[in-house]
Structure 1
């Protein structure tokens, strides 16, 4: 049985790390091609310019137009090649980072990603999600390598809206439970082979960090502060969860999230917020110990993650809608089949409704 763990070559985290960008790109090349959207470019351009002042290595900055689409990737990769860049840097949110990864892949140059939020675990992954120009999903671009460097400037991330950090906790909340399911079922992870003990250990550390530090980090970020708890949660949301999902695997929680994309009322919710409810549903589906469900529910309540269908926008439960969610969660090829038992749409439907009832129960205890 082949086992595998994959990760970025370097993960770098701390306040004001973006101010060192020139020294990081110099380790990989002489001329960096830096992309960011309008807002992030305006936010960081002085920091970048100051970093490269009086340095031998140089850079070209180009605006990312907002969609990780094939035409935008093509435009930027050609521009990157035209300036003879030998390293590409993406600064910003997920679509910017995915575009930088794609440019690096097509131009065969190293990739640095510098997230400005910690709302998902995607930055560390060897994957770009490609969209059509109208914003509809197009395809996944599976990459042979993870980003070369991931740079987390915690001062910038802590200044972002607190809901984004909490959404990242919701995404990270699923990591251990999904990796555990894949391990129990002897199913391969996203990396393409079976789960290592190291991946399980990192996934467990991710969960333990959320439980211990999540509330403290949320309170600090509400005050735009960077504390040790914030540092630990950023690492959990990004690196621990990133390695945990890619090398540990996905299971029911993310499949249920994917099913919930048919709920128009939930379209305003962030990925991690819906994954949190998917995690509670997975625990119901596998009949996890009551103590474990209690801990997860209390954590969600403490940081403000959804526990009920109402919390994600579903004010009135429609049986046909929820059955459709369950059917989509059980579509061919979905990660729900990494659970260590047979799963059917009927079981998922019942688990969703039971999770919703449990959520209402826990919320009533805290009123």
Structure 2
């Protein structure tokens, strides 16, 4: 519980979303500088480099493109920092997935530079947040860093997002779905949000978290169907905004609880490493229903949505056997080596968390049998 009644709200300076917006990147960047450093996902580097260089070739601005080499670790952060200084760039653009984005954030904050984020999927809500996750060179989680500033512009090209594998979009929906349930837990326990040292939530943060939930329930399934046929409709645009802007502002300004705690526990099991962040958070939502004894009308509505959307709701959906050993490993991490669960205003120990995991897994199996392929 906080000892102050001070509220705080944080956000990126500007959020822009629409079809073909990447083609305007030089127009947006020239307000800041005529020398722009692009850090691009290694997987997407050849395609995006060619497109960006073509855009800049029609102007007097200069672009420098560099491929991200993997983890958001201090050796890579330092390498990119030196390249940015060497090229005398005045703006950093991180284009790609979470690790590339977080490296760009870390470099920009260390140099006190402006920066843009250009996500290539709607898989997470990280782009608009003032948080970066740093790993070791070999991929083990090291720390989460609260940054001095969020992005100057988050630029979402809807056509680029729609071209990504639909699994990424679905995982982003799961991550966004957790936002409202976790916000309520933080509110009940008066736990701090993720702004600076941690403050009470502004009403705006809670309202945004709720809107994430409402839009998912209203447009989520329609957006998935539209993406499957390559149609970038208003429903798709609404869920891109939900996954990225609304969920990002929601989690930063309200905080996380059981769903993300369970994610951390699942990450202890090697068999989950090939699954996406949002996919693991999804099972954490189900655990939250069991842990918090959520009213069944809400459980029924959300579980039907998750199953019909193809979002994981059981341990087996994540390649995990529901053995006592695996459940203990998850619960041990959640209770003893991660603080997120303690935002829950409930009794927290190995037994209560293990019971929630067992109950959630059974709940998920029942709803899969009931709604799958209906």
TM range (shorter): over 0.9
2:59 is paired with a residue whose SS is coil
Q: Partners of 2:177 and 2:333 in 1: how far apart?
A: 22
The 5 A counterparts of 1:211-250 are 211-250=217-256
Structure 2 residue corresponding to 1:171, chosen from 172, 175, 181: 175
Does residue 41 of structure 2 align to residue 53 of structure 1?
no
Does residue 22 of structure 2 align to residue 15 of structure 1?
no
**Which residue is equivalent to 1:98?**
102
Q: Between Structure 1 and Structure 2, how many residues are aligned?
A: 366
**Which residue is equivalent to 1:299?**
305
Q: Partners of 2:358 and 2:273 in 1: how far apart?
A: 19
Residues 269-320 of structure 1: CA distance to partner in whole angstroms, max 9, x if unpaired?
1110111110111121111110111111011111101111111112x32112
1:181 is paired with a residue whose SS is helix
The 5 A counterparts of 1:335-354 are 335-354=340-359
2:155 is paired with a residue whose SS is strand
1:130 is paired with a residue whose SS is strand
- Tell me by how many angstroms 1:332 deviates: 5.2
Structure 1 residue corresponding to 2:366, chosen from 354, 357, 361: 361
**Which residue is equivalent to 1:326?**
331
The 5 A counterparts of 1:109-258 are 109-191=113-195, 192-258=198-264
- Tell me by how many angstroms 1:54 deviates: 3.5
Q: What is the alpha-carbon root mean square deviation over aligned residues?
A: 1.4
**Which residue is equivalent to 2:269?**
263
Deviates more, 1:78-87 or 1:132-141: 132-141
Q: Partners of 1:331 and 1:55 in 2: how far apart?
A: 55
1:33 is paired with a residue whose SS is strand
Q: Partners of 2:162 and 2:55 in 1: how far apart?
A: 21
Q: 1:257 to 1:333 in 2, by over 3 A?
A: closer
Unpaired segments ≥5 residues, structure 1:
none
2:201 is paired with a residue whose SS is coil
- Tell me by how many angstroms 1:340 deviates: 2.1
- Tell me by how many angstroms 1:13 deviates: 0.5
2:275 is paired with a residue whose SS is coil
Q: Partners of 1:249 and 1:37 in 2: how far apart?
A: 28
1:68 is paired with a residue whose SS is coil
Deviates more, 1:355-364 or 1:166-175: 355-364
Q: Partners of 1:58 and 1:326 in 2: how far apart?
A: 51
- Tell me by how many angstroms 1:264 deviates: 2.6
Confirm or deny: 8 A CA contact 1:209 1:236 kept in the other structure: yes
Q: Partners of 1:67 and 1:320 in 2: how far apart?
A: 30
Q: Partners of 1:253 and 1:139 in 2: how far apart?
A: 19
Q: Partners of 1:134 and 1:277 in 2: how far apart?
A: 26
- Tell me by how many angstroms 1:175 deviates: 0.2
Confirm or deny: 8 A CA contact 1:98 1:128 kept in the other structure: yes
**Which residue is equivalent to 1:274?**
280
- After TM superposition, the score normalised by the length of structure 2 is 0.94
Unpaired segments ≥5 residues, structure 2:
none
**Which residue is equivalent to 1:72?**
76
- Tell me by how many angstroms 1:363 deviates: 1.6
- After TM superposition, the score normalised by the length of structure 1 is 0.96
**Which residue is equivalent to 1:62?**
66
Residues 90-148 of structure 1: CA distance to partner in whole angstroms, max 9, x if unpaired?
11111111111111111111010100011111111112222222222233232111111
Q: Partners of 2:135 and 2:283 in 1: how far apart?
A: 25
Q: Partners of 1:360 and 1:318 in 2: how far apart?
A: 15
Q: Partners of 1:140 and 1:286 in 2: how far apart?
A: 27
Confirm or deny: 8 A CA contact 1:40 1:91 kept in the other structure: no
